[in-house]
Amino acid sequence: MRHLLSTADLSRDDALLILDTAEQLSQVSGRSIKKLPTLRGRTVVNLFFEDSTRTRISFEAAAKRLSADVINFSAKGSSVSKGESLKDTALTLQAMGADAVVVRHGASGAPHRLANWVDGSVVNAGDGTHEHPTQALLDAFTMRRRLGDLEGRRVSIVGDVLHSRVARSNVHLLTTLGAEVTLVAPPTLLPVAMGEWPCEVSYDFDAVLPKSDVVMMLRVQHERMNASYFPSAREYSRRYGLDPERLGRMPDGAIVMHPGPMNRGMEIAAEVADSGRSTIVEQVTNGVTVRMAVLYLLLSGSEPAIGGNQ
Partner 1 sequence: MNAARNQARDGEPRTGEAVPAGGRPVDGERAVLEAPDINRALTRIAHEILERAKGPDDLLLLGIPTRGALLARRLADRIEQVEGRPVACGSLDVTMYRDDLRLRPARALGRTDLPEDGVDGRIVVLVDDVLYSGRTVRAALDALNDLGRPTAVRLAVLVDRGHRELPIRADHVGKNLPTSRSETVRVCLAEIDQRDAVLLRGGQR
Using only C-alpha atoms, what is the Rg of the chain?
Answer: 19
Q: Which segment (191-199, 216-224, 252-260, 296-304) binds partner 1 by CB under 8 A?
A: 296-304
How many residues bind to partner 1 according to rule CB under 8 A? 24
Nearest to 5 by CA among 144, 106, 102: 102
Does 38 interact with partner 1 (rule: CB under 8 A)? yes
Q: Which segment (21-29, 56-64, 79-87, 159-167) binds partner 1 by CB under 8 A?
A: 21-29
Q: Which segment (45-53, 253-261, 283-291, 295-303) binds partner 1 by CB under 8 A?
A: 295-303
Q: Which segment (3-11, 19-27, 115-123, 217-225) binds partner 1 by CB under 8 A?
A: 19-27
Q: How many CA atoms lie within 13 A of 305 on its CB side?
A: 15
Report the 10 Å Cβ neighbour count for 109.
Answer: 14
User: Among residues 22 and 273, whose Cβ is nearest to partner 1?
Assistant: 22
CB of 265 to partner 1, least distance (A): 41
Does 20 interact with partner 1 (rule: CB under 8 A)? yes
Tell which one of 77, 83, 303, 309 touches partner 1 (CB under 8 A): 303
Strands 100-105 and 200-202: unpaired
The rounded distance, in Å, linking the Cα atoms of 118 and 109 is 15
Does 248 interact with partner 1 (rule: CB under 8 A)? no
Does 17 interact with partner 1 (rule: CB under 8 A)? yes
The rounded distance, in Å, linking the Cα atoms of 77 and 233 is 35
Tell which one of 248, 302, 309, 310 touches partner 1 (CB under 8 A): 302
Does 192 interact with partner 1 (rule: CB under 8 A)? no
Report the 10 Å Cβ neighbour count for 199.
Answer: 20
Nearest to 165 by CA among 301, 6, 271: 6
CB of 123 closer than 8 Å to CB of 298: yes
Residues lying near partner 1 in the complex (CB under 8 A): 17, 20-21, 24-25, 27, 31-33, 35-38, 296-306
